[in-house]
Amino acid sequence: MLDDSKPLFVAVAEQIEDGILDGTYAEEDPVPSTNELAAFLRINPATAGKGFNLLVDAGVLIKRRGIGMFVAPGAREALRQRRRSAFQDQFIAPLLREAAQLGITAEDLADMITKEVAR
């Protein structure tokens, strides 16, 4: 359920981000509390809290004292931008590395992508 190649609190933050990106949590809507998420994921509440704080610091979530945390206005678009810039590193680079190992050229790759999209 959580990506175990990253620190746990980063994985927690990313899971909330995924929820915002796919519309599970709409902008200005509340997100689950630290304790709810900790119980759901069976992780330490402090770790869940760190994940939330990461998002608060990034301006993705807004903390309202005594009420809880909410998705910031414009958070979805901002996340999309950020993920796009990371896309190259996270997906394209490993793809090319594997392709090179198998002797697949850049042209072959482009062909394969076009075919996959058409399917």
Partner 1 sequence: MTAIVTQGLSKHYPEVRALDGVSIELEEHRIHGLLGRNGAGKTTLMQLLTGQVFATAGSMQVLGASPVENADVLSQTCFIQESQRYPDTFRPIDVLRIAAGAYPNWEQALADQLVDDFRLPVKRTIKKLSRGQLSAIGIVIGLASRAPLTFFDEPYLGLDAVARRMFYDYLLADFSQHPRTIVLSTHHIDEVANLLEHVVILDQGRVLLDADTDELQHAAIGVSGRAADVDAFLAGREVLERTALGSLASATVTAHDGDERAARDAGLDVSPVSLQALFVHLTTASAAGAASPTAPATDVATN
Residues in the site for partner 1, rule: CB under 8 A? 4-9, 34-35, 38-39, 41-47, 50
SS3 61: strand
From the CB of 59, what's the least distance to partner 1, in Å?
22
From the CB of 41, what's the least distance to partner 1, in Å?
8
From the CB of 43, what's the least distance to partner 1, in Å?
4
From the CB of 39, what's the least distance to partner 1, in Å?
5
User: Residue 35: CA atoms inside 13 Å, Cβ hemisphere, count?
Assistant: 1
- Contact 61/32 with Cβ under 8 angstroms? no
Q: Which residue lies nearer to partner 1 by CB, 46 or 110?
A: 46
Q: Which residue lies nearer to partner 1 by CB, 36 or 111?
A: 36
Q: Which residue lies nearer to partner 1 by CB, 21 or 30?
A: 30
- Contact 91/110 with Cβ under 8 angstroms? no
Residue ranges in the chain assigned as alpha helix (H): 8-21, 34-41, 45-57, 75-87, 93-102, 106-118
SS3 104: coil
Q: Which residue lies nearer to partner 1 by CB, 12 or 20?
A: 12
